[in-house]
A and B are shown apart, each in its own frame.
Chain A
Amino acid sequence: MNEPVIDVRGLHVRFGEVEAVAGIDLQAQAGHATALLGRNGAGKSTTMRVLAGVVPPTAGTVLVHGVDVAREPVAVKRLVGYCPDVGGLVPRATPWEHLQLAARLRRLADWETRARDLLERFELGDVAHRVTSGFSHGMGRRLSVVLAALHEPDVLLLDEPFDGVDPLGVEATMVVIEDARARGASVLVSTHLRDLAMQACSTAVVLRGGAQVAAMEAGELTGEAGADAYRALLD
């Protein structure tokens, strides 16, 4: 088996007295999409934030393409595209200004055509120059996926990308995930929508109480039997 693109071992994250992540191990391969499942407070979003270089790990090793996120966070950020779970947009900037900021800091050349294409696919072309504070929740989610996917990252981290998104937006997000897999990227999708997660991903990891309780093929969590199996893992 190839070296995993995402390699998390013994990850702990503490915020004061609260241990948000208590010893997660997680590996994800290139060309695969992995679903990160679990109840609220299971540690999904915190794990995503660590992988995105936003929150430093308290203990453990987190490697992205062999780069240690604790030692070289900026290098990891170049490899990763991140759609955060909450908001993710600067309130008084326009989508195009968000894209310009990302393109400039990621040293992208000839990015405008792809940016326009993504905005059109997510039906945001008409609002490209409107400030985002007036956006609906679904529009914000869709733009966050666009921003994460703009630079065709090696690792695509999507935290609740389907939350409040209409069916067309869900389809566009599925296409982004499929494109990323096809070009060899590793995709991590955190969501409470199990059916969509199973549709988008080939493998699934279930977290509970800040630790991993199961890792399995997506097929094992599909249908009613999968729902029962998933529920059993949450209790």
Chain B
Amino acid sequence: MPTARSSTDAGLAGWVRASADLQHLLRFRAATVRRPRAAAVAVAVLLGVTLAAAVGPVLVDGAGSTTVLADHLGAMLAGFLVLAVAAAMASGGGRELVPREQAAVHPIGHRTEHLGALALAPLNFAWLLQAWLLLGVAARTTGTDGWLAGQAVVAAWVLCATALAQVVGWLVETLRRTTHGVLVVRVLAVLVATVGVALQAADRLVPLLEGLPTRHLAEVVVEGDGAVPALLALAALTGLAVVVGAWPAGVALRRTPREELRVESGSHPARPLPASDLAVLRRIDRASVWRSVPMRRGLVVLALGPGLVALGGGMDWTQVLVLPALVVSGGALLFGVNAWCLDGRGALWRESLPVGPGTVFAARALTLAEWLGAAALATLALAALRAGVPTPTELTALVVTLVVVLLQVVAVSLSWSGRRPFPVQLSSARATPAPPIVMVGYSARLAVSTTLTAVLFSSAAQVPVWWLVPALAVPFVAWSTVRLLRARRHWVDAARRAHVVVTVAA
């Protein structure tokens, strides 16, 4: 006999209940925001940027006459769908509204989980950046005439693509949770990546994207005709995707997360005792990173994704210089921005061990740096396959950029980790090291700072003076070193460290 209604109810009642549950969970998340004023400012900034992206390009001369952008709008709309699918797949179907450990005791149904993942999808800087880009390009191509219709169609497509991507994400997660699902998904991913690289290498990827049905949407945006039918069709498709997506979500969530369980029950034979305190600390830190499903999966996507784009696109070294910045800033979002959460509830015991806090800090910083460095090197190795042998100036610029960006990101990450720790398990592929709204802020700040740095160095590398890039790096290295030392001082302070330890162990 049922004792309570839940979002597992069938039919329309189930959706009504799921929507109500979603509102409760969103209110719960909103109530647990530690700095509501900062969150309100963040939301206002996001809305402001969205408005600027949608309106700004219209105000600049030449709006409405940009044919080059109009030609590529169809491919860009399709590209948004591809990126949304990749994000949904990498995050195990979608982000968790409430962490798995906390949600387990509540009657939260699969529809609520599905709607929650959809609600959280926009809280991803890559998603936001792409959406702003599409709104901006649409505004630029339409100008003032047909601006409203164009913006509405693009916004509807962004929502529709997100819902469609969510369906694919859940389907892949359903497959991944079958007996040999992990292997099958990996093989499929390699196949898709190989085909993608081959198409790109043959200059056929963009024509393929431009040939997709999204070109019709692009025509609607550019020409302004048929906006209403397009909006109705997109609304219907979005509704259908939302409803259909609940089915694979239910199947996936009912199945055992095999990859996570395999990692949680994995055996690792004893190895000889390391020779130093730092080495033994680094060993356990490395284990915490490499034995985590979301971190491992995220790193592979980050390392290979940009590398394959570079490989397929045949980027030259000055273009490749920007890639380490993207990879390193993305990698820090996997755990670096809340680096002390790696110890979980073991933080209290670890803190009771007789070792100087400076050594613990050094171990964590080195683990983070080598983790990010490994991802960046994998990307560069792939890019190098077609970029050829770099000139001494290019090689110098590459090494310097990598060092600067690594130092920059490690310093910022450890600074944030010390100031704003969060208790996170990071065992689920759907987990993030900080709440979603905080992650948006972190990712935006990291992406902007590292990309600007890399663009500066990339520009400098085109000047045939080998010492220019190293000279430019000096202030960056100095500032990041100061920041890293400040983060270390914060950690070494007993009271502040106790706050971090007690928080992550909560």
A129 engages B268 (CB within 8 Å): yes
Q: Which of B236-244, B317-325, B345-353 contacts A (4 or more CB under 8 A)?
A: B345-353
A90 touches B346 (CB 8 A): yes
Q: Which residue of A lies closest to B279 (CB)?
A: A104
The residue of chain B having its C-beta at the shortest distance from the C-beta of A103 within the complex is B273
Instruction: Say whether B353 contacts A90, CB under 8 Å.
Output: no
14 contacts between A and B (CB under 8 A): A56-B495, A56-B498, A75-B354, A78-B354, A82-B349, A87-B346, A90-B346, A96-B270, A100-B270, A105-B277, A130-B265, A130-B266, A131-B291, A144-B349
**Chain B residue contacts of A128, Cβ below 8 A:** 270
Q: Does A193 contact B (CB under 8 A)?
A: no
Q: Which residues of A contact B284 (CB under 8 A)?
A: 90, 93, 97, 101
Looking at the assembled complex, report how far the CB atom of A102 sits from the nearest CB atom of chain B, in whole angstroms. 6
Determine the distance from Cα of A132 to Cα of B345 in the docked complex, in whole angstroms: 11
Tell me which residues across on chain B come within 8 A of A134, comparing CB atoms.
261, 264-265
Q: Is the CB of A86 within 8 A of B494?
A: no
A77 touches B352 (CB 8 A): yes
Is the beta-carbon distance between A86 and B348 smaller than 8 angstroms? yes
- A83: shortest Cβ distance to chain B, in Å? 8
Question: Within residues 477 to 506 of chain B, which ones have a CB less than 8 A from any CB in chain A?
Answer: 494-495, 498-499, 501-502, 505-506
The smallest C-beta distance from A118 to any residue of chain B, in angstroms, reads 15
Q: Are B274 and A104 in contact (CB under 8 A)?
A: yes
Interface string of A66-108 (1 = CB under 8 A from B): 0000100111011010111011111111101110111111100
Contact: A77 with B502, CB < 8 Å?
A: no
Please give 19 more A-B residue pairs, beta carbons under 8 A apart, in addition to A52-B348, A54-B502, A96-B270: A15-B502, A53-B351, A54-B351, A54-B352, A56-B495, A75-B354, A80-B352, A82-B352, A83-B349, A87-B505, A88-B348, A89-B344, A90-B284, A91-B346, A100-B273, A101-B350, A102-B353, A104-B274, A104-B280
A97 & B345 in contact (Cβ 8 Å cutoff): no
Q: Determine the chain A residues whose CB is within 8 A of the CB of B7 once the complex forms.
A: none
Q: Is the CB of A84 within 8 A of B264?
A: no
A59 contacts B by Cβ under 8 Å: no
A104 and B272 alpha carbons, distance in the complex (Å): 11
B348 touches A92 (CB 8 A): no
Cβ-based interface call for B287 (8 A):
yes
Residues 255-284 of chain B, each 1 if its beta carbon lies under 8 Å from chain A, else 0: 000000101111111100110010011011
Residues of A within 8 A of B (CB): 15, 49, 52-56, 70, 73-75, 77-78, 80, 82-84, 86-94, 96-98, 100-106, 128-134, 144, 147
Q: Establish whether residues B274 and A91, one from each chain, have CB atoms under 8 Å apart when the complex forms.
A: no
B355: chain A residues at CB < 8 Å are: 74, 105
**Residue pair A131, B427 in contact (C-beta under 8 Å):** no
User: Contact check: which of A49, A82, A91, A131 meets B265 at CB < 8 Å?
Assistant: A131
Task: Across the interface, name the chain B residue whose C-beta is closest to A52.
Answer: B352
Do A88 and B265 form a contact, CB below 8 Å, given A96-B270, A103-B273, A105-B280? Answer: no
Report chain A residues within 8 Å CB of B263. 92, 131, 133
Q: Which residue of B lies closest to A79 (CB)?
A: B354
B200 contacts A by Cβ under 8 Å: no
User: Which one of B280, B281, B354, B427 has the greatest number of beta carbons of chain A within 10 Å?
Assistant: B354
Answer yes or no: B356 CB below 8 A from chain A CBs.
yes
Q: Which residue of B lies closest to A80 (CB)?
A: B352
Within 8 Å by CB of A89, from B267, B280, B349, B425, lies B349
Q: Considering the complex, give the chain A residue whose CB is closest to the CB of B427.
A: A133
Question: Is B394 in contact with chain A by the CB < 8 A criterion?
Answer: no
Nearest-CB distance from B26 to chain A (Å)? 27
CB < 8 Å neighbour of A53 from B283, B291, B352: B352
Q: Is B6 an interface residue (CB 8 A)?
A: no
B residues near A129, Cβ cutoff 8 Å: 267-270
Q: Which residues of B contact A83 (CB under 8 A)?
A: 349
The answer to whether A84 and B267 have CB atoms under 8 Å apart is no
Q: How far is the CB of B408 from chain A (nearest CB, A)?
A: 27
- Beta-carbon contact of A84 and B427 below 8 Å: no
Is B288 an interface residue when CB atoms closer than 8 A count as contact? Answer: yes
Please, which residues of chain B bring their CB within 8 A of the CB of A130? 265-268
Contact present for B287 and A92 (CB under 8 Å): yes
Interface residues of B in 280-332 (CB under 8 A from A): 280-281, 283-284, 287-288, 291-292
B173 interface contact, C-beta 8 A: no
Q: Which of B342, B344, B346, B355 has the most CB of A within 10 A?
A: B346
